[in-house]
Amino acid sequence: MAILELDRLTVAGDRGDIITGLTFSIDEGETAVMIGGSGSGKSMTARAVLGILPDGLRASGDVRFHGESVFHMPTERRRTYLGRGTGIVFQDSFGTFDPIRTIRQHFTELFSVHLGLKGKDADRRALYWIGRAGILDPVRVAAAYPHELSGGMRQRIQIALAASLEPELLIADEPTTALDLNIQDAILELLKEWKKETGGTLLLITHDLGVAREMADRMLVMDNGRLVEDGPARQLFTAPRSRAAMQLTDDWRTVGGAPPADKAASPSHLLDVSGLSMSYRTGGLFKKREVRALDEVSLSIGSGEIVGLIGESGGGKSTLARLLAGIEPARAGAISWHGTRNWPDAVQWVHQDPAASFNPGWTAGRLVAEGLEYRGTRRTERERTARHLLSEVGLPSETAQQYPGELSGGMNQRLALARTLAVSAELVVLDEPFASLDMSTQAKMIRLIRSLRDREGTAFLFITHDIRAAFALCSRIYVIRQGQIEDHGSPAELAASENPYTKSLLEHVPGRGVDLCNNGGGVL
């Protein structure tokens, strides 16, 4: 029995169609995963199904829930459909909460609107559902405000909010993106649990084939606003038919594969860090507390080497990046530099969200050559360099006239890399460069970083919580935890490591069971 049917659903804006002629249906009790790159129309499909399209977009065709047209429901019926028929979990867990309401109030509002439940009954029910989401102290969390909870906690609460009205269909739109891997894992477990207990239907939207593989009964592949492949999950891996699906599995191999062996096996030392420590003071009027961010960290990076630094949020990764880039002085320890130019001039730092680190009023061309302006290079010279560097990182030459706001996340990452080339950096520190990129863009970035290393001999320190990408890109990886280096070695060595923390990190990689060190071929 189909619970949700889409019949030639088209969403049109002023600049043309965003979704074109989407037709598929989802059966009761099924887990369908909709996969595709950013801008392929996945999230817009979810919004169209719920009838909450942004202003200025029009939907045509039809969406039917249990055979009833969603677009023609009267207001009261629609409200029931939204609350009790379907539930939604969004990606951005912070922005979807009202900042001045407690978690409890988020629940009781829904209970009062949809179930007519008020007072103590509603409170009890809220506590019950917060507990169901795997939260150990529901009473404290119920009284908390959204900003007092971690991203993973908020995502659990979002799922509990959606589940608390006992919907038949749960739509989860990128529910795990930008979360640490172990938290991603816990969120996926929670969704599985929900399904097992209620027998409900799940529509999961993701760009990550690992997540898809772990959850899906059925895969819907989106490309450029169209459904290009619809079939059982296994088929996508064994016999993809569409070009987009083949591209996805190909990118997955790049992201999930292992790096080709380094040509220079023992590169000369570029940077040695020994006994680096850093602490911050926090606290209020009466007591000051010292938080140790880094504790006696030692590591080395060779010239032309790609080194990874992995670990969970709050482990000290970003602090180390700031110290290496010379943004802050360390409390103790030494950084010794053997490169041809002075430290930290030759070290460049690429911000996690590069667009946020650019002057939005400058064109891409000027941004790329910004470093040369400070060196007093002439303007015509700078423009020539900018054009050359944009092509080096695979951006079309007309990008030079565009502004950062007009470029996609992947293009801005490329722009940031081009900036480091302009000042011929010897070491580039990449701070979570893939956090907001979809899988295909990640695969392209991995190829670009490798080719830059080969051509320019630039060394990279790749800081990430995404273990899969680190394994794919780096020749050596450091594991950091609570400010201390916990483990260290080549990807193959780490995969076989006995260190309990490394082991637990690797366990949470989505789509695990995939051989991380298998070079390219056998994803399955």
Partner 1 sequence: MALFLLKRVAESAFVLVLGSLLCFAFIQLIPGDPAAAMYGDQLQKLTEADRLRISENLGLDEPVPVQYIHWASQVLQGNWGASYLTGEPADEVIVRTLLPTAVLLMASQVLMIGLALFFGLTSALRRDGLYDRIVLAASVLLMAIPPFWLGLMMMLFFSIRLGVLPSSGMGAGPFSISHLILPALVIALSHAGYYIRLFRNHFAASSMGGHLLALRARGVPHRRIVIAHILPNAAAPLIVYTGASLAVSLAGSVVVETIFSWPGLGRLALKSALAHDYPVLLGIILLSMAFVILVNLLASLLAAWMDPRLRGSGAEGRNGQ
Which stretch in 127-135, 144-152, 187-195, 298-306 sits in contact with partner 1 by CB under 8 A? 144-152
Q: Toward partner 1, which CB reaches closer, 50 or 246?
A: 50
Q: Using CB atoms within 10 A of its CB, is residue 423 exposed (0-12), middle (13-18) or buried (19+)? A: middle
In whole angstroms, the minimum distance from the beta carbon of 87 to partner 1 comes to 8
Closer CB to partner 1, 99 or 119, in the complex: 99
Of positions 24, 71, 145, 403, contacts partner 1 by CB under 8 A: 145
Rg (CA), the chain: 25
284 binds partner 1 (CB under 8 A): yes
Cα–Cα dist 445/434, whole Å: 8
x/- mask, partner 1, residues 453-492, rule CB under 8 A, reads ----------------------------------------
Residues 171-190 as x/- pattern, contact with partner 1 by CB under 8 A: -------xxx----------
Residue 497 Cα to chain centre, angstroms: 26
Q: Does 283 bind partner 1 (CB under 8 A)?
A: yes
What minimum distance in Å lies between the beta carbon of 397 and partner 1? 36
* Tokens representing residue 170 in the block: 């749960």
Q: Least Å distance between CB 384 and partner 1?
A: 42
Strands (E), 147-259: 169-173, 201-206, 218-223, 226-232
- Rounded to the nearest whole angstrom, what is the least distance from the CB of residue 497 to partner 1 in the complex? 26
Q: Which is nearer to partner 1, 185 or 305 (CB)?
A: 185
State the Cα–Cα distance between residues 1 and 249, nearest whole angstrom: 31
Name the residue nearer to partner 1 (CB basis): 47 or 213.
47
Binding mask 368-387 for partner 1 (x = CB under 8 A): --------------------
Q: CB of residue 75 vs partner 1: minimum separation in angstroms?
A: 8
Q: Residues with Cβ < 8 Å from 465, sequence gap 6 or more?
A: 180, 181, 310, 311, 312, 313, 317, 432
CA distance 256 to 516: 6
Judge contact between 54 and 85, C-beta under 8 A. Answer: no
Q: Which stretch binds partner 1 (CB under 8 A): 145-153, 235-243, 325-333, 496-504?
A: 145-153
Single residue of 56, 67, 74, 95 touching partner 1 by CB under 8 A: 95
Pairing of strands 16-27, 2-13: antiparallel
Contacts with partner 1 by CB under 8 A: the residue count is: 43
Asked if 147 is part of the footprint of partner 1 (rule: CB under 8 A), the reply reads yes
The amino acid at 509? V
**Phi, psi for residue 415 in degrees, rounded to 5:** -60, -40
Q: Are 303 and 270 in contact (CB under 8 A)?
A: yes
Question: Of 5-13, 18-26, 278-286, 346-354, which part binds partner 1 (CB under 8 A)?
Answer: 278-286
Answer whether the bond into residue 175 is a cis peptide, omega within 30°: no
**Among residues 26 and 163, whose Cβ is nearest to partner 1?**
163
Among 13, 60, 72, 94, binds partner 1 (CB under 8 A): 94
- Separation of alpha carbons 388 and 470, rounded Å: 29
Q: Could you tell me where the DSSP H helices lie in 311-466?
A: 317-324, 354-357, 364-368, 370-373, 379-392, 409-422, 439-456
Among 96, 182, 235, 300, binds partner 1 (CB under 8 A): 96
8 A C-beta contact, residue 516 and residue 506: yes
Q: Is 22 in the site for partner 1 (CB under 8 A)?
A: no
Residue 79: closest CA among 52, 46, 106: 52
Q: Give min distance, CB of 387 to partner 1, in A.
A: 38
Question: Least distance from C-beta 29 to partner 1, angstroms?
Answer: 23
358, 412 in Cβ contact below 8 A?
yes
How far is Cα 258 from Cα 18, in angstroms, rounded to an integer?
A: 36
What is the CB neighbour count within 10 angstroms for residue 154?
21
Choose between 148 and 398: whose C-beta lies nearer to partner 1. 148
- Of 29, 151, 333, 394, the one binding partner 1 (CB under 8 A) is 151
- Is residue 347 at the binding interface for partner 1, with CB under 8 A as the rule? no
Residue ranges in 43-82 that form contacts with partner 1 under rule CB under 8 A:
50, 52, 78-82
Enumerate residues 299-338 that contact partner 1 by CB under 8 A.
313
Toward partner 1, which CB reaches closer, 134 or 457?
Answer: 134
Stretch that binds partner 1, among 98-106, 271-279, 319-327, 365-373 (CB under 8 A): 98-106
- Residue 109 as a binder of partner 1 (CB under 8 A): the answer is yes
110 binds partner 1 (CB under 8 A): yes
How far, in Å, CA of 431 to CA of 461, rounded?
8
Closest by Cα among 38, 411, 72, 32 to 230: 32
> Is residue 84 part of the contact set for partner 1 (CB under 8 A)?
yes
Task: Provide the binding-site residues for partner 1, judged by CB under 8 A.
Answer: 50, 52, 78-84, 87-88, 90, 92, 94-101, 109-110, 113-114, 145, 147-152, 161-162, 165, 178-180, 282-285, 313
